[in-house]
Amino acid sequence: MSVELVPLLQTRFPKEVLVSHHYQGQATAILKREGLLALARFLRDDPSTSCDMLMDVTCVDYLKFGKSQGSSPTLATPSPLPYYMQPKSMTERWERLVSSEDFRFEVVYHLYSTTHHHRLRLKVPLTLADPVVDSLTDVWASANWFEREVWDMFGVQFTGHPNLKRLLMYEEFKGHPLRKDYPVHKRQPLIGPVN
């Protein structure tokens, strides 16, 4: 079961795994980026885990996490939003287990084992100054295009990737569109008018 993966990882890789949990039956481990490649090879090759399928690689930008509104509404300054959209206290929202000030991005890997039928989520927090992580194309071939998409949309670089080019946007596109500080209404057509 997925639940046993988490203690197994913590005993085998105590220094690389920062924190882990299994919320709602889903095992998640947050790693240091140095330990990612070794952990990935272990997860694929070890017969007790044998995670032979990389389901997804994606990235989250935590720039505006928890900061959608300035502060909680008070009686003097009630929120202009309706009740169900008012900012909620930290305990009512998603928690982030590493600090958002230090780590802006988090690359998320979803693994699945077709033999044991368990799933695992790995998260690698990265800073804006150095958004680089090891590529997993040698371990799972499906990582190739997933990592190209993450590079295209977020600007996270993958060392050792055979062909890190943009996948969804055209090569001359400037910027990384799914970052939170990419202007939402900006348009850069390759041919044709801007508006």
Partner 1 sequence: MSAAPDLGKLNWTTTRLDAALGWARKFSIFQYPFVTACCGMEYMATATSHYDMDRFGAGFPRFSPRQADVLFVVGTISHKLAPVLKRIFDQMAEPKWVVAFGVCTCTGGFYDNYATVMGIDTIIPVDVYIPGCPPRPENVLDGLMKLQDKIAKGATAVLPTDISARPAELQAPHRPEAHL
Which amino acid is located at 78 in the chain? Answer: P
Rule CB under 8 A: is residue 191 a binding residue for partner 1? yes
Rule CB under 8 A: is residue 195 a binding residue for partner 1? yes
Rule CB under 8 A: is residue 174 a binding residue for partner 1? no
Q: Closest separation between CB of residue 74 and partner 1, Å?
A: 32
Alpha carbon 138 to chain centroid, angstroms: 20
DSSP assignment string, 134-183: E--TTT-TTHHHHHHHHHHHH--EEET-TT---SSS-TT--S-TTSTTS-
Q: How many CA atoms lie within 13 A of 116 on its CB side?
A: 21
* Helix-then-strand count for the chain, H and E: 3, 7
Query: Which range of residues in 33-41, 78-86, 156-164, 168-176 is near partner 1 by CB under 8 A?
Result: 168-176
Among 100, 177, 179, 180, indicate the residue that binds partner 1 (CB under 8 A).
Answer: 177
Rule CB under 8 A: is residue 165 a binding residue for partner 1? no
Rule CB under 8 A: is residue 115 a binding residue for partner 1? no
Rule CB under 8 A: is residue 25 a binding residue for partner 1? no
Rule CB under 8 A: is residue 80 a binding residue for partner 1? no
Which amino acid is located at 64 in the chain? Answer: K
Rule CB under 8 A: is residue 193 a binding residue for partner 1? yes
